Structure 1
């Protein structure tokens, strides 16, 4: 389910089945890093949207947690922990974070749920079918991470 009114309405009537939150972590850069920032955003957005389609009815894809790359990451982390607390209060048992920003690795152990770091794959020179194929390949690898986490708590 996505963070759109129709899906949220469905969630509210069937929330006992939707126990997983996915939060994309997106950094925005300007200047020389702007193109790489946009490329990473495109990759993570396509990946999380495809992941959401695979697990519709089990997970909620939250809007990206977006921040400036130039911001102090300690402050950004504090804001993310606030999101996390609110998500947990609202009955999500699992929270997954997905990012291409390697700076988040140092906060991995301080997060409630797993941090999935994936290096951004350049998509700008691929046609749509090549993009889908590449994203499908990445998502297949992620499926086992999700199911493993869910089975740990059975």
Structure 2
């Protein structure tokens, strides 16, 4: 289920079956022109990847809005903010919280997160419409959904 009205209406009716959250983590910054295109592309891929995981596991998980943060922000502060989101989510309650990101800097603070980090080596560029890219995303979705199922 996604963060949209129709899905959330269904969620309210069936929340006892939906015990898993996916929270995408995506950086941005405008101070470095060379990274703008890469970060925006990775944001698009992350959004597509999470949507495909949500389709695969519909009825068992809820996909939250993307958590955006400034790339150069202090990670300890971001951990506190993300964990604040998690505290709010766990009030529902959700048993399994998965963070998905291409940003490897989250690995350094992974143990401080109140959930499981799924770090994916970043795809730097490409054509989202290409068959090759769809194949890569499909493979990643299969691996990630299998991993997530292992927690259930």
Equivalent in the alignment of 1:14: 14
C-alpha distance in structure 2 between counterparts of 1:119 and 1:43, whole Å: 12
C-alpha distance in structure 2 between counterparts of 1:131 and 1:93, whole Å: 32
Equivalent in the alignment of 2:28: 28
Flag structure 2 segments of 5+ consecutive residues without an equivalent. Answer: none
1:54 aligns with 2:56: yes
TM-score, length-scaled by structure 2:
0.93
Find the partner of 2:103 among 101, 104, 116. Answer: 101
C-alpha distance in structure 2 between counterparts of 1:122 and 1:75, whole Å: 26
**Residues 1-150 of structure 1 aligned to structure 2 (within 5 Å):** 1-30=1-30, 31-125=33-127, 127-150=129-152
State the Cα deviation string for residues 96-122 of structure 1 (Å, max 9, x = none).
Answer: 000000010012112222100001224
Report the Cα offset of residue 131 of structure 1: 2.7
Task: Please state whether the residue corresponding to 1:2 is helix, strand or coil.
Answer: coil
Aligned residues between the structures: 150
Report the Cα offset of residue 92 of structure 1: 0.7
Flag structure 1 segments of 5+ consecutive residues without an equivalent. Answer: none
Report the Cα offset of residue 128 of structure 1: 4.2
TM-score, length-scaled by structure 1:
0.91
Is the CA contact (8 Å cut-off) linking 2:23 and 2:98 kept in structure 1?
A: yes
